[in-house]
Structure 1
Amino acid sequence: MFGDYSIGDLGAIFAMQGFAGLILFSVYVLMALGLAIIFGQMGVINMAHGEFMILGAYVTWMTSGFFQSYLPSLFSGYFFVAMILAFIASGALGMLVEWGLIRHLYKRPLDTLLATWGLSLILQQAYRSVFGAREVGVELPSWMMGSKQVTDTIEVPINGIFVMCLTLAITMVVAWIMFKSRWGQQVRAVVQNRVMAGAVGINTEKVDRYTFGLGCGIAGIAGSAFTMIGSTGPTSGQLYIVDTFLVVVFGGAASLFGTIASAFTISQAQSTMEFFMSGSMAKVLTLLSIVAILMIRPQGLFALKVRK
């Protein structure tokens, strides 16, 4: 597999694929952060998480078109407005779904899986009816175009660097919310002991609704980032949902550090193997490796200890 390349060529290939893996890692982290909050903190298997991501992508696409048509002088900064709107739209829909559907299915994981799978199909058809079946793409501002030349053989796209910086910022904000803010303390209290948290005055239903909304809102931001590196279609979210679940389960549910570590491991493995073999074979080998590790350590890489 490596015999046809020189040492220098292999170094350049691994460097380029490593950076491509970092871009994929950024999308995985943004997707998995929201899913880890929902799955790890609430025990809800949200199979419609990819559709919340695509809602954020469509919001970004519409915001891009609006700025192009009505505010062309401000087009260079449209993405930051689009990211906020994507978070609000996906988060609001998530809170509505939690109120209308999920709150009736707590402690019934199989029912939540089936219900959210049905919801994903409904949302896909809604997107197809509203936006059409064809994939759409956003036009990047001029400052996101082009690439940075690292060496004579290695260059990295500017939009990829931006996506990675965005992921780092969002991760830091989520970590602060979950571990430093008062609301984050309430979330962790509900996870540790729901009955006792309610007994001391914490509104557990409100915490659940806001937690689900936060997770879906982060998925919306992931959708905004996704438009920087790919086109958007009604079923695009399903391409990432399985990998995102792998990231969460492999890293350990409710573990922020585990989510980041597993996203990095999986993205780098897939990106490197896809260069030397087919994409499907790379996914198969990655999946088999994860299954083998989970057979040895079923709680994931970084399990969070909670009171039973």
Structure 2
Amino acid sequence: MFMGYSLGELGSIFAMQAFAGLILFSVFVLMSLGLAIIFGQMGVINMAHGEFMILGAYMTYLTSQLFQAYAPGLYGIYFFVAMAVAFVVSGGLGMLVEWGLIRFLYKRPLDTLLATWGLSLIMQQAFRSIFGAREVGVELPEWMMGSLAVTDTIEVQINGLFVMGLTTLIAVAVYLLMFRSRWGLQVRAVVLNRTMAGAVGISTERVDRMTFGIGCGIAGVAGSAFTMIGSTGPTAGQLYIVDTFLVVVFGGAASLAGTIASAFTISQAQSTMEFFMSGSMAKVLTLLVVVGILMLRPEGLFVLKVRR
């Protein structure tokens, strides 16, 4: 696989592919953070999580179209507005879904799997009916175009650095929300003992709804980042849902550090192997390695130690 390349060329290739995987890593982290909150904290298997990401991508597309049509001079800041719109719309729909569907299925994970899978099909058809079956793309503002030369042979994409910084900020915000805020304390109390949490005055229904909404909202922000690496279509979310579940399980459910470490490992492995072989073979090898590690460590890379 490495035949025909010198050591210097291999070093440049690995560095370039590592930087190229930054946006993929960012999408994985944002998707996985939302799913880790929903799956790790609530035990809900949300098969429609990819569709919430695509909803955020479509909101980004609509926002870019509105800026191009009515405020072309402000197009350089459209992405910041689009992220806020994607978070609010995806999070709001997530809260509505929790109220109308998910709250009746707690402690029934297989039922949540089937229900959210049906929801994903409904959302796909809704996207197809509203936006059409053809894929749509977003034009990046000028300041996101181009790359920075690190060396004579290595360049870094500016949009990759931007999304990486955005992902870092969101990961820090999620950490502060979950482990340094009163609401995060309530979430962890509900996870550990729902009955006792309700007995001391915590509104468990409100915590569940907000948790599901925030998880879906973060998926919407992931959709905004997704518009930088690919076009948006009704079924594009299904391409990432398996990888996202893989990241969450491999890193350890409910572990923020495990989610980030797992997303980085899987995204960089896929990005590098895709240079030397086909994309499908890269995914197969990545899956085999992850499955092998999970057979030796089924709880994932990081485990939360809880006193029983």
Give the TM-score range, shorter chain: over 0.9
**Cα distance in structure 2, aligned partners of 1:214 and 1:160:** 24
1:128-277 residue pairs with structure 2 within 5 A?
A: 128-277=128-277
Q: Which residue does 1:110 correspond to in 2? A: 110
Query: Deviation per CA, 1:211-250, whole angstroms, max 9, x where unpaired?
Result: 0000000000000111122111101111110000000000
By how many angstroms is 1:307 displaced? 5.4
**Cα distance in structure 1, aligned partners of 2:273 and 2:146:** 26
SS in 2 for 1:229: coil
Is 2:30 the counterpart of 1:68?
Answer: no
By how many angstroms is 1:111 displaced? 0.4
Is 2:50 the counterpart of 1:50?
Answer: yes
In structure 1, the gaps of 5 or more residues are: none
Task: After the TM superposition, list the runs of 4 or more consecutive aligned residues in structure 1 that deviate by more than 2 angstroms.
Answer: 305-308
Indicate conservation of the 8 Å contact 1:160/1:229, yes or no: no
SS in 2 for 1:156: strand
User: What RMSD in Å do the two structures reach over aligned CA positions?
Assistant: 0.8
By how many angstroms is 1:74 displaced? 1.0
Q: Percent of aligned positions with the same letter in both sequences?
A: 81
Amino acid at match of 1:87: F
Q: Which residue does 1:39 correspond to in 2? A: 39
Shifted more, 51-60 versus 221-230: the winner is: 221-230
Q: Which residue does 1:278 correspond to in 2? A: 278
1:285-300 residue pairs with structure 2 within 5 A?
A: 285-300=285-300
**Cα distance in structure 2, aligned partners of 1:17 and 1:180:** 36
What is the number of equivalent residue pairs in this alignment? 308
**Cα distance in structure 2, aligned partners of 1:224 and 1:285:** 29
Is 2:119 the counterpart of 1:119?
Answer: yes
Amino acid at match of 1:175: Y
By how many angstroms is 1:306 displaced? 3.7
**Cα distance in structure 2, aligned partners of 1:174 and 1:281:** 34
Structure 1 pair 92/116, CA: closer, same or farther in 2 (3 Å)? same
**Cα distance in structure 1, aligned partners of 2:122 and 2:27:** 24
**Cα distance in structure 2, aligned partners of 1:139 and 1:286:** 32
**Cα distance in structure 2, aligned partners of 1:236 and 1:54:** 7
By how many angstroms is 1:24 displaced? 1.1
